[in-house]
Structure 1
Amino acid sequence: MTSQHYALFAQYTQSWENQNLPQFLACLTDDVGITECYGATYVGKNEAQKWFQHWTAPAENQVVKWDVLAKFEDSAKNTAFFNWRFHYIYQGKASIFEGISQVTFSETGKIVELKEYEMTFDKTRPYLTAN
């Protein structure tokens, strides 16, 4: 993994934590494609900006912490995978989930495509037997 890719993804996550729109936009190519784990898709900086502003505008919405737990890279495809834990408050309700972002970088080092995948934070062991 290039340190440049990790640094850019860290800048991206920090932009959410700090609600910093210029920092967010600086991470993206003009034709960026972002797909949230919920299915919503944003194509181009204009749509990405509207999403960011809509999400961060209410005072009760906040990304509390976005921890990167692991990172992997497919250098042949200029793509990195970031495993993370996402703590947030949305519409006044605190929550947490884990996930992975698949991030493809442009030749200039910006994010050209980002796909998020979610995993429930609370785990169960349905087949654990008591001894």
Structure 2
Amino acid sequence: MTIPVPLRQPCPPGACICGRDQLATECEPARRILLLTRQEEKRLLERLENLQDIEDLYRLQRRLYDNLGIRLHIAPGHHEVRTMRGIVIELDDQPGLCRKTRQAIPAAIRKGLERNPQVAFRLLDTHDLLRDT
């Protein structure tokens, strides 16, 4: 006897442009984004808000891709970085990734960087903070 895996509930019609309907014809790896239920999303956001170090951020970035197929890009902006808003956090377009989740993940990472500024400093150092001088 197999237990069905819980899938994310669909968004109300017209409220989201996640493209969940496109996933019905896609292969199995493309549909793994639907495994991110609301409860799992809350756990993920909490984990992103409580970053310990830069390695923790990179580990979470790898696990997002391995488990859900979410490609996350984090880098300093093209202009100077004075606040956490200067760090660019982008998610690649992916069918099935809800609009609210697409906004919540970067917000949670920014909260984590604000709570632990050493992670932000290490992130800036890994991207060669003084490259233009």
Q: TM-score if structure 1 supplies the norm length?
A: 0.28
Higher percent of residues as helix: 2
Point out the structure with the larger strand share: 1
